[in-house]
Amino acid sequence: MGLMVHSLENIPETKNRDYFIYLLDYGWTEPISKVLRENFENMSKFAATNRAVVIKGTELAHFENEVFSWHKINNENADDLLPAMLITNTHPRYFREHLGKWKTSGQLRSDEHDQMKLILIPFKKFCSSPTEAISLINKVFNDIINQRDLSEFKIAKEMKKGIGQAIVNSIILEPNFNGIGFSFEKLLKYLKDGG
């Protein structure tokens, strides 16, 4: 199921999805962000048959909390990460329920995001053109569909919740040139139980 998100209120809560794929950008007009928006329908077709949900924002949808904002993602500088593809186990309900709370109450309770796992693929590190972005999107989705290792990627940084400034567990991937990629089994295990 692919969703055009105008409101997080309307996304069904279901147990039959293994992960959620969010397309993150600033909402500004730039070539790679434009490619993400233009290829949303193809990504949605993938999700419909692969126990996933692909979500992208519109100019009407904006959310931020202590984990995500336009300037920080898990306390990492968003300028270095966006636009990006985020693969996570976290239903959009989390963002709806916590929208703006951290601004008025300080940090959210730690247990509210103990189970959240993030895998970020920052397009700036991989792509210098829209054509390269399309190729990368196709590669990621084809590898996931075929349950192959994400051979184009290796772990650039792994952050554990509570260590350093990390708010939640996350992995940032980067281009891989040495042949051994990010294991598909590790991706699923990580999203399910933090493996």
Q: What total of structural domains would you count in the chain?
A: 1
SS3 111: helix
- What was the pLDDT predicted at 62? 58
Q: How far apart are CA 40 and CA 133, in angstroms?
A: 13
| pLDDT average, residue stretch 56-71 | 66
Mean pLDDT of the residues in the chain: 76
Residues 26-51 have pLDDT tens digits of 767 788 888 888 888 888 877 777 77
Which residue type sits at 127? C
168-184 tens-digit pLDDT = 889 999 888 776 678 88
Count, in order, helices (H) and strands (E) of the chain: 6, 9
92 touches 61 (CB < 8 A) = no
Q: What is the residue range of 137's domain?
A: 2-193
95-151 tens-digit pLDDT: 667 665 555 444 545 555 567 888 899 988 788 888 888 888 888 888 877 878 887
